[in-house]
Amino acid sequence: MIVHLFEDQKFVDITIENFENVSNGLNKYIVFSNNKKLTYASSKEDVIILPNSSYKLDLDLVYKDCQLLIIHFLSPLKLYILKHKPNHVKVIWSVWGSDAYDHFKVQNNFEPLTGVIQKNTLFQKLKDSYFFTFYHLIKYRVKPLRKELELAQLINYVITVLPNEFKVIKNEFNLVAEYIDYNYGINNFDKFSNKSLGNSILVGNSATSTNNHLDVFEIIKSTTNMDIIVPLSYGAYDYEDYKAHIISEGRRIFNKNFIPIENFMHLHDYRELTFSCNTVIMYHIRQQALANIFMSLFQGMRLFLNCKSITYSFLKDQGMIVFDLKKDYKLIGIELNEDDKQINKKLVLNLTSRKVINEKTKAIVDLYKSFIN
């Protein structure tokens, strides 16, 4: 059996859909949550809900009939599960982003203004201390990934969001794993009807400092009097303080044109909101927010990225019409022409179509079948 491990996250439903399309009945889906009512996973009859705590975990239930374990985002609890893996079980780590990049020895994810506040956060100061390692060990029964690198050697295969991330992550953690080409798909965003775009600007995807919000604000503050929509409904461990700082600075700089989104929005509502924008700015240096990026490209928005990012180079290599914020900021607010919109839309569909996702999912299922034959 293929056992999938999740927290209550937005990719649960699409994973169930992907795998049941090509391997009905071969999968077990486990969601770790301390609430019986899940927020993101709607396919509740298809999932087993287990407590999000290693102290309450039934490892026998996790590994019952398991030949292939797929870790969707390597959280501390899943690292603990990996530590107790039976020898016969093969493991795939599906890297989402922060589960790898937050553990890099050298952090190069921040532009100058964001870097200043990031260095001064309490969490950042404690993160590399003995006390944090001890706290992590007591709470999760494993140390942080950087201090448990021998466990990473138990991983047989790695999925990365972008192909050019694999080598970077493999080298960082000295992995012996092989690469698997897979992505989740974008929640059927192409099924929504197309609409004309407004003239607002969407900045970032979350209340995480890797969005480099402050540096974006500095670049665009003198170029626009349009509404600046900033999603801030979720983030990392200390995101509430960061969110408050971004809201304060956003209102100071843009006044009534600054519109923070502080509450979770369902996909349909989020997409309706994004139609009010013709410009999207995702200024991450590390890979992040690719689902949002593909959605914005599909909808015909002008997308500005950080030229230092793997995402920027990947999309340019694919032939997509995307822009370097620092160099091209004067194009903010100018809607893409129809030809460029169609180029981006076609390329997004080529990367995320149902046929492509089915083929990639089937390759994983075929790999699993090779273990049991």
Average pLDDT over residues 24-30: 94
**How far are the Cα atoms of 112, 142, 214, 308 from residue 125, in angstroms, in the given order?**
18, 20, 20, 26
Average pLDDT over residues 142-171: 96
Q: What is the pLDDT of residues 164-212, one digit of tens each?
A: 999 999 999 999 999 999 998 755 655 666 789 999 999 999 999 999 9
Average pLDDT over residues 244-253: 97
- 304 and 160 housed in the same domain: no
Is the residue at 119 inside a domain? Answer: no
Helical spans, DSSP H, in the chain: 12-23, 59-63, 76-83, 98-101, 112-119, 122-127, 130-140, 149-152, 166-172, 213-220, 239-254, 267-274, 290-298, 310-318, 325-328, 338-352, 354-372
pLDDT at 43: 73
Distance CA 173, CA 179 (A): 14
Of the residues 182, 202, 236, the one at which a domain ends: 182
- Map tokens 């502080």 to a residue: 262
Is the residue at 288 inside a domain? Answer: yes
- 80 and 219 housed in the same domain: no
- 86 and 213 housed in the same domain: no
Is the residue at 304 inside a domain? Answer: yes
Asked whether the predicted pLDDT for residue 101 surpasses 60, the reply is yes
- 166 and 235 housed in the same domain: no
Mean pLDDT of the chain: 93
Model confidence at 65, pLDDT cuts 50, 70, 90, reads very high
Beta carbons within 10 angstroms of residue 76's beta carbon: 20
Domain residues for 225? 189-352
Is the residue at 149 inside a domain? Answer: yes
- Split into its structural domains, the chain has a count of 2
Of the residues 182, 210, 230, the one at which a domain ends: 182
User: Residue 244 belongs to a domain with what CATH number?
Assistant: 3.40.50.2000
- 234 and 330 housed in the same domain: yes
- 313 and 239 housed in the same domain: yes
Average pLDDT over residues 7-36: 93
- 151 and 26 housed in the same domain: yes
Is the residue at 368 inside a domain? Answer: no
Is the residue at 278 inside a domain? Answer: yes
- 178 and 204 housed in the same domain: no
- 176 and 193 housed in the same domain: no
Rounding to the nearest 10 degrees, give the CA dihedral for residues 152, 13, 360, 292: -90
Is the residue at 63 inside a domain? Answer: yes
pTM score:
0.91
Model confidence at 236, pLDDT cuts 50, 70, 90, reads confident
Percent of the chain at pLDDT exceeding 90: 79
- 199 and 328 housed in the same domain: yes
Is the residue at 126 inside a domain? Answer: no
- 165 and 212 housed in the same domain: no
- 57 and 85 housed in the same domain: yes
pLDDT at 10: 82
Distance CA 92, CA 4 (A): 10
pLDDT at 145: 96
